[in-house]
């Protein structure tokens, strides 16, 4: 019988220092020099990060805003995802719809990341997102829906609940050096969440940056492997007490050995319709 060792830890994570102006986040284009660029002030705060693998009750999308699942993919080289999207997106649909109880999904993005400049240079991927954030605001979630489906189809979908889910996975070995940590949605207060402009090469949207609150409860799943995926809720139109977001960030894992391999990950974003 395998014994799971508690790998809870402490780490410094980057919180927004709110100012008078609306922050602007400039999305990187990928490559060796890819790095976060936000015209706002941040502060590093050391927080406890709990090992979610040892919890007596597993986390859930509707309570904490995130949950872990096993998933064996047929994709052997995720750096070639553009040529394998049909197969992988079919896998994601078969995985996600039964878990969420949704009627349909629309997958619209696959983002590759690494904390290694050498790997980013080779594959033109982006950096690990090391600030506390959530991917969408109410405004940008609705805008994304309309941009993807068109106004008429989007208006029809808006008559019912929809959500945006991020499926995050390792695409190499276990994630050790720069893992992802998610905050329990039950511990997040609206007063700490700030709409921020997000500027990319092809469009302008919004995301949420977050100021520090000592009540935040952070969790991670140590050494996530290729056959595991983390589902993260980044928006839910059903605001009835269930989680509507999960703020998250990469962090420097002090438990990682010096020779630990670089993180290589991919997140896939999708609209889920009910």
SS3 assignment, position 135: coil
**What domain count does the chain have?**
1
Please say whether the beta carbons of 267 and 167 come within 8 A. yes
E-strand spans in 117-257?
133-134, 162-170, 180-183, 193-199, 204-210, 218-220, 228-236, 248-250
Whether 143 maps to a domain, the answer reads yes
Angstrom distance (rounded) from CA 225 to CA 149: 34
**Closest among 50, 78, 101, 70 to 264, alpha carbons compared:** 78
pLDDT digit of tens for each residue in the chain (274 aa)?
A: 445 679 999 999 999 999 999 999 888 888 888 787 889 999 999 999 999 999 999 999 999 999 999 999 999 999 999 999 999 999 999 999 999 999 999 999 999 999 999 999 999 999 999 999 999 999 999 999 999 999 999 999 999 999 999 999 999 999 999 999 999 999 999 999 999 999 888 889 999 999 999 999 999 999 999 999 999 999 999 999 999 999 999 999 999 999 999 999 999 999 999 9
Whether 3 maps to a domain, the answer reads no
Whether 58 maps to a domain, the answer reads no
Angstrom distance (rounded) from CA 165 to CA 62: 12
Domain, as residue range, for 19: 10-52+63-273
Whether 2 maps to a domain, the answer reads no
Angstrom distance (rounded) from CA 183 to CA 164: 17
Quickly count: other Cβ atoms within 10 Å of residue 202's Cβ.
Answer: 5
Whether 4 maps to a domain, the answer reads no
């Amino acid at each position: 019988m395998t014994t799971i060792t508690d790998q809870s830890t402490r780490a410094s994570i980057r919180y927004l220092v709110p100012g008078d102006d609306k922050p602007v986040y400039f999305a990187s284009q990928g490559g060796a020099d890819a790095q976060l660029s936000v015209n706002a002030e941040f502060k590093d705060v050391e927080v406890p990060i709990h090992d979610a693998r040892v919890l007596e009750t597993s986390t859930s999308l509707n309570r904490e805003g995130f949950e872990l699942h096993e998933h064996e993919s047929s994709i052997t080289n995720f750096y070639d995802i553009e040529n394998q999207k049909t197969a992988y997106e079919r896998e994601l649909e078969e995985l996600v719809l039964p878990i969420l109880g949704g009627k349909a999904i629309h997958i619209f993005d696959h983002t590759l990341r690494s904390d290694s400049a050498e790997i980013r240079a080779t594959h033109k991927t982006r950096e690990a997102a090391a600030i506390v954030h959530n991917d969408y605001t109410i405004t940008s979630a609705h805008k994304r829906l309309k941009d993807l489906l068109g106004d008429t189809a989007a208006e029809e979908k808006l008559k019912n609940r929809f959500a945006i889910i991020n499926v995050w996975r390792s695409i190499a070995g276990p994630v050790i050096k720069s893992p992802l940590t998610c905050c329990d949605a039950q511990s997040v207060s609206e007063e700490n969440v700030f709409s921020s402009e997000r500027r990319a090469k092809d469009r302008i949207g919004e995301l949420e940056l977050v100021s520090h609150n000592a009540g935040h409860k952070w969790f991670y799943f140590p050494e996530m492997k290729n056959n595991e995926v983390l589902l993260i809720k980044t928006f839910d139109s059903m605001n009835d007490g269930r989680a509507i977001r999960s703020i998250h960030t990469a962090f420097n894992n002090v438990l990682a050995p010096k020779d630990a391999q670089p993180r290589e990950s991919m997140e896939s974003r999708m609209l889920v319709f009910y």
